[in-house]
Structure 1
Amino acid sequence: MVNILYDDRQDKMEITDENINAIEKTVIACLETEGMDGTFEVSVSFVTNEEIKELNKLYRNVDSETDVLSFPLDDDEGEIIMLGDIVLSTEKIIEQAEEFGHSLEREMLYLVAHSTLHLIGYDHMDDEEKLEMRQREKEV
């Protein structure tokens, strides 16, 4: 089971109940792919480019916009396992969906899957890690 806390702090893209249900299914698919069982909690925030740029600078010392940030909590104490926070730039979702020629929902769910994999320990700092992470993304 997954509890997802949502925070919509932007006005560029409408976040629908269908989007929220699809996000939940995507997070569950990532966890199932890894054989993870239990009750998990994830927070998902929808923000502007300006806000994600500030967060990127503050936490990664990178002074630029990005599409998604992941903040793993690594809290496996208690009955609910807190995986962490996903922060999505809706402006980047719109821009990248147009650039890659697919729907807003597909772009959003790809970024949710990518970020969820970061929350459970995947990274892409070198080619081997990147290849493994891409394979997991395809499985979801």
Structure 2
Amino acid sequence: MKLRVTFSGLSTPSTVALQDIEHVLMETAALECGDLAGWRTLTVHFTDDTQISEMHGRYFGDPTPTDVITFPDDDPQVEGGHLGDIAISLDYAAESAADVGHSLQRELAFLAVHGLLHLLGYRDADPLERRAMLELQDRLLRGFEQRHGRTL
């Protein structure tokens, strides 16, 4: 599967290279769905904690901030379809990046990949699923970094 990524919402800091996040998502789609022909589209919407809290409350009944929310659209099998939208809180991502000691760039890529995996059918409802999904995200990002000879 080939992926066209659009970014919207709040502006990211100048230290964040959206092109790298786009390439991570495109490579993830190719690796995870290489057998699917054609193009799909995806929108990544950057929010703040206030906006994502509103979405979280409206759609999930929990009006607290969260890192990432996905909104599926078309089935990934539908060629030319829109996979869906990923909302990422820049506030939450910045706090998480500081807590774990890596760049905002890497945290945003990590969350974008997390959202894409949800749109592709991955779940993290129980601890085993969550652990497997987080390990896959980390492997995908490390692979990207190794292929491109740099860290995010």
TM-score, with length taken from structure 1? 0.86
Question: CA, structure 1 residues 116+77, in 2 after alignment: closer, same or farther (shift >3 Å)?
Answer: closer
Correspondence for 1:6: 7
Whole-Å separation in 1 of the counterparts to 2:90 and 2:111? 11
Correspondence for 1:33: 31
Whole-Å separation in 2 of the counterparts to 1:138 and 1:82? 25
Correspondence for 2:19: 21
Question: Could you tell me how far 1:46 is from its partner in structure 2?
Answer: 0.7
Answer whether contact 2:3 2:29 (CA < 8 A) is retained. Answer: no
Question: Could you tell me how far 1:81 is from its partner in structure 2?
Answer: 2.5
Whole-Å separation in 2 of the counterparts to 1:68 and 1:77? 23
1:67 maps to a residue whose letter is D
- CA shift digits 1:67-120 (9 cap, x unpaired): 111111134576413111010111111111111111010111000111110010
How many residue pairs get aligned? The number is: 137
1:14 maps to a residue whose letter is P
Unaligned runs of 5+ in 2: 141-152
Q: Between the two proteins, what is the percent identity of the paired residues?
A: 30
Question: CA, structure 1 residues 55+76, in 2 after alignment: closer, same or farther (shift >3 Å)?
Answer: same
1:133 is paired with a residue whose SS is helix
Answer whether contact 1:52 1:66 (CA < 8 A) is retained. Answer: yes
Correspondence for 1:95: 95
Unaligned runs of 5+ in 1: none
Correspondence for 1:48: 48
- CA shift digits 1:38-77 (9 cap, x unpaired): 2110011111110000000001111200011111113457
Correspondence for 2:117: 117
1:80 is paired with a residue whose SS is coil
Whole-Å separation in 1 of the counterparts to 2:79 and 2:122? 23
Question: CA, structure 1 residues 5+83, in 2 after alignment: closer, same or farther (shift >3 Å)?
Answer: same
Answer whether contact 2:110 2:138 (CA < 8 A) is retained. Answer: no
Answer whether contact 2:56 2:65 (CA < 8 A) is retained. Answer: yes
Correspondence for 2:80: 80
* CA RMSD of superposed structures (Å): 2.0
Of Structure 1 and Structure 2, the greater strand share is in 1
Whole-Å separation in 1 of the counterparts to 2:74 and 2:129? 20
